[in-house]
Amino acid sequence: MTTILGLSGSLRRASFNTGLLRAAVGVAPDGVTVKAGSIRGVPLYDADEEAANGLPETVQSLQADLKSADALLLVTPEYNNGVPGVFKNALDWMSRGDGLGYFKGKPVAVIGATPGGFGTILSQNHWLPVLRTLRTKPWLEGRLLVSRAKNLFDDDGNLIDEDTRENLRDFLAGFAASLGPTASGASS
């Protein structure tokens, strides 16, 4: 069984991106589990706090999930044409201590939804230098940009558009296929 850790970069209750992640859990290909993680509760990074108290429990949990996953799926909003600060902050924390080693060589795909007309193209591109620095293995063979999300999700943030669901299914199938037959042996 291949496990993909999925993280949404939004804390909003009815987030389109969290809804897209929930939909990904439901349309994962056979033999693949998308495990929805959460960045909720990750404090702002503070090196003094880290030195005094170590890694917060929420961060340790995310690191454990990343370590045991075969791949990572970032479901990113786009705020002011870039990566949401709360999402970047969570990955900054996750890279602390032994965490940087858990990112090294990890296949990563990035998708996102926005109410605007350009999907999350700028945010997705903005992630590339971060993913390079973390020494991940970005999957660049597919792209999923969900535009005009208000028309595709209900008031609770659930994906209701079947075309988008099918595009998500195809995207995940391509990402999972790129992991190859050895993907079920998680990296350490």
pLDDT 10s digit of each residue in the chain, 188 long? Answer: 999 999 999 999 999 999 999 999 999 999 999 999 999 999 999 999 999 999 999 999 999 999 999 999 999 999 999 999 999 999 999 999 999 999 999 999 999 999 999 999 999 999 999 999 999 999 999 999 999 999 999 999 999 999 999 999 999 999 999 998 744 444 43
What single-letter amino acid sits at 113? A
pLDDT at residue number 164: 98
Q: What is the 3-state secondary structure (H, E, C) of the chain?
A: CEEEEEEECCCCCCCHHHHHHHHHHHHCCCCEEEEECCCCCCCCCCHHHHHHHCCCHHHHHHHHHHHHCCEEEEECCCECCECCHHHHHHHHHHCCCCHHHHHCCCEEEEEEECCCCCCCHHHHHHHHHHHHHCCCEECCCCCEEECCHHHCECCCCCECCHHHHHHHHHHHHHHHHHCCHHHHCCCC
| Domains of the chain with bracketed CATH | 2-182 (3.40.50.360)
pLDDT at residue number 184: 42
Is pTM beyond 0.75? Reply is: yes
pLDDT at residue number 180: 86
